[in-house]
A and B are shown apart, each in its own frame.
Chain A
């Protein structure tokens, strides 16, 4: 349904703001990705070498089976008696025991190696991802980061835990089968190679035709999930508007498209099987014919010929497995490259000697800002907020309130002018010190999954339960929290109890209290919770802001009325500022606004 002139956003996972591809987070090239993983493996040399040796041993023990069966055949053809037969059978048993032991142990070693490499990698990626400047993440669209540390980590995990051991096992079996055949007789090995060209041909056709279909299929499945979420989360709305039929049609459409693409993919996959079976037939026939000729020439025994045929037969399944996994290997490599790309972003470093803010004073001097060059959103803003002062920022949508709030918090850098917190610029403070000094609470609520206590402790990991309760008390939330049967141990967020918007916002304010910054910026933190909730939140905010320098982007004028000073922004300029009563008396833009808000009160 997207307009023809908006191709950039079409098909993007978040379908959101137009984002140029160049702005996505970086992706490493596959070689770099492999190098990073190689280094992580090399950090565990003993484990890596042990895994390899044990797996090779296990596969080798398995490959002793066909020659031993060949030996049984020879014992029978040469009529060597039951003693020799018992020895051969006993050797078969030993091979089984050894193979079982080494396979079981080797598999565990591979899992241990793969999982610990994966854990290192994902921790590095997530740690980095959280420290990337917000403006960089936003430029890429927040869906980009989410899909990497959500989706790509999972794809790589699956590849490491499921695909890698399978590939290792199958690959070793195929490789050692070739070696086994060469050891048996090189001419048998040569005959078996007759299958290879057909397999290569089948694989190339498959990669060419089916892999793009699989990719498309995954995109369609993603769209299907998104459509389901859209429809189900919006079910109350579609019932009210009686558009459930249209929503159902969309679900049916996307699900049908995913189904058709999957069927298409399987038809292509089904085309590969005759080729693979053909390769098996050609290879097996070649080995048998070679065996026939060699036995006829007296070069090898019947048992050796039998062993050759059985060898080849045994390799059928592993070869099929390997061919089927090629796509997953490619997918895993792509996801890995995207992860390594994130890990390679250098987060901003703290200065060697970070400045200490003298107090909570905030000074903006000649601050101007342009998101897009040539389109200024703020002009020449001068503003001084005294330590402990509370300033309310008022203005219409697009007046630049949020931009100003973000500049003060250091999320964006002003294009012109300077911002000082307690006498130091944000650069002099460095990211860590700045994050301790100025905090931002926006109308965006997110309750982190886990217990209530866990959620709050993100702000101060070492806080005691009493400290948490004290913070909740400050924001007026101790009532409903202690009323919960499990109190601070209540599981909230995804999969747990969903707090109301008001409660979630109170938690956000409690986190602010726990972090205890000198300066707090609230960006419409009381919006979106209904008017009654907004009033309750205003009281919570009062508690949270007590004793701090505060810049409050106000949505309800009552918030402005209780602030020490009101600043009115219009089209990126400060048009009026002063205490509420003075501004109301002055009869300027703010007085008009207040009149519309509380019209009757003035009569």
Chain B
């Protein structure tokens, strides 16, 4: 078990960051080299692009107008050189930028995964002021953050590179024009900022609206996926037509939204074309007058109009870079909210690298009463204790405490007299393993899953037999080497539960806590599991929190818990005999 991989500092941004902006700064600092090199590559590339129309002008001027073949050859060679530099610079920009983006994205994603998987967990209610309320919540939301938001965050590199290159191109264009003719240069130099500003002014509200509309359009896709995921349920109640109708409504709404978004986008596109076209006309008019005066040559006129046409590109790229930057900031807020999410339980000793505890077979377990409503419980070394409750909330609180989930007072749980709060969470959970009834399986084979946390010297057949997983495995195509699918979805609920139980038994912890381990299996199999677990864990401390009579009957001792503490204890048979409350909880 490589717990070391979960400690901070193995790779990626490790230092805690607060808020989106510091995270962006950190990304830029860590990816300095690609940021600088790709921006430089972009500047050179854009400068070369700007000089293409200038060279066309020179060719018209010196070669075509003067009909000079020597000049033609000379300037075509220069054009070729320019293209060589241009294409090299672009390669450099693209490759360094993409390298920075891909590595940065991967490292950030790894850091996020480390945070989410850390022993400390993520507190259920997010800290106040967190940007997204569901950041610590559903796995789906976390996947979105680690999947696409990680990428959008590092897109800050692209914003810098593309934006920097665009600014360079605008500056070069202006400089060449100024050198050609002061009035023309001033016209472009002074005309561009208001032009940019006007475009931005137009773009902002339109983009916002089109963003809202696009989100609405995406909702239809959500409805379709939802219906398809629930297909069996939908068909079970014969609601195919109602489902299709619901999709039709969502699809029409999406259509309206998409058309509205299209109106906004195309208005913007039209405005863009109008403004740059009109500007070109003005430059042609002013430049033409200067050329008529003889102030500038024909080649310079051609270069000027060529440059003005060219200028549209950098202007658009600059707008793109600013949009990218805004998106990157929003994504960085979400990423840092998750990176900095409050822990479910503090794990101050995780840095001590406490490895798995020495193997002990029979340990005593003591639970102190806590404010959360868990009563005192003592489990003797090697004992099999059954815990039954009439109130599921009581058993859930007890299971949380045993699983070291959520904050608990120091000494709430002792193993052989020593409080587990003195240990790192990983070490504590190595002593007491809580197997939930809805434990997750991971994609891979059945064998991968059963052996995921297996102790050394495991007798696989004995574990499969005790958990009833052998029967499940026979029904799975491919048996032990069959795939369980994403989160075990290819298996039935009963198969999943038995494979998960086998996995917990294979871990052979000093204390094993089973929480309702047989809710999804049939009564016959449940009886088999009850005696199998009893046999396999013989002499090792085991706590079964359940209301199933077969499981409780296999325990040495059973306690009935209520909201106020232990209501009764004895063997299952004794309790059934004399306790009405127990019969109501277990046999009704």
Contact = CB atoms under 8 A, between A and B. Distances in A.
A175 interface: no
Contacts of B217: 157, 161
B18 interface: no
Chain A, interface SS category: helix
A127 interface: yes
Contacts of B429: 239-240, 242
B372 interface: no
A517 B236 CA distance: 11
Interface in A1-44: 1-3, 5-6, 9, 14-18
B266 A107 contact: yes
Contacts of B546: 531
B523 A532 contact: no
B95 A6 contact: no
Contacts of B79: 281, 284-285
B74 interface: no
Interface in B77-111: 79-80, 83, 86-87, 90-91, 94-95, 98-99, 102-103, 105-106, 109-110
Given A149-B224, A288-B64, A398-B475, A527 B277 contact: no
Interface residues of A, number: 184
Contact of B587 (A95, A443, A598): A598
Interface string B370-396: 000000000000000000001010000
A5 B478 CA distance: 9
Interface in B255-281: 255, 258-259, 261-263, 265-267, 269-271, 273-274, 276-278, 280-281
A86 B292 CA distance: 12
Contact of A397 (B3, B302, B472): B472
B483 A15 contact: yes
B185 to A, nearest CB: 19
A449 interface: yes
B418 interface: no
B527 A240 contact: no
Contact of A93 (B1, B229, B277, B588): B277
Interface size class of B (residues with CB under 8 A): 35 or more
B313 interface: yes
Nearest to A104: B270
Nearest to B109: A255
Contact of A92 (B52, B277, B588): B277
B411 interface: no
Interface in A572-602: 593, 596-601
Interface string A275-299: 0011011001100110110011000
A181 interface: no
Nearest to B577: A600
A381 interface: no
Contacts of A280: 83
Given A240-B403, A248-B5, A263-B99, A150 B228 contact: yes
B109 A89 contact: no
A18 B269 CA distance: 50
A249 interface: yes
B306 interface: yes
Contact of A100 (B99, B235, B273): B273
Given A104-B266, A134-B231, A233-B487, A305 B64 contact: yes
B277 A6 contact: no
A119 to B, nearest CB: 4
Interface stretch (A182-190, A351-359, A383-391, A454-462): A454-462
Contacts of A5: 481
A153 B236 CA distance: 25
Interface stretch (B27-35, B53-61, B321-329, B361-369): B53-61
A280 B305 CA distance: 19
B177 to A, nearest CB: 16
A599 B284 contact: no
A461 B392 CA distance: 35
Given A112-B259, A116-B255, A127 B237 contact: no
Contacts of B265: 107, 111
Nearest to A517: B238
B149 to A, nearest CB: 12
A248 B246 CA distance: 40
Interface stretch (A204-212, A478-486, A552-560): A552-560
A564 interface: no
B525 A528 contact: no
Contacts of A340: none
B239 A115 contact: no
A232 interface: yes
Contact of A511 (B140, B237, B246, B254): B237
Given A2-B483, A111-B262, A17 B477 contact: yes
List 4 A-B pairs, minimum CB-CB distance, nearest first: A96-B277, A104-B270, A111-B262, A435-B238
9 contacts: A16-B483, A226-B443, A232-B143, A234-B441, A248-B5, A409-B236, A440-B236, A446-B233, A528-B520
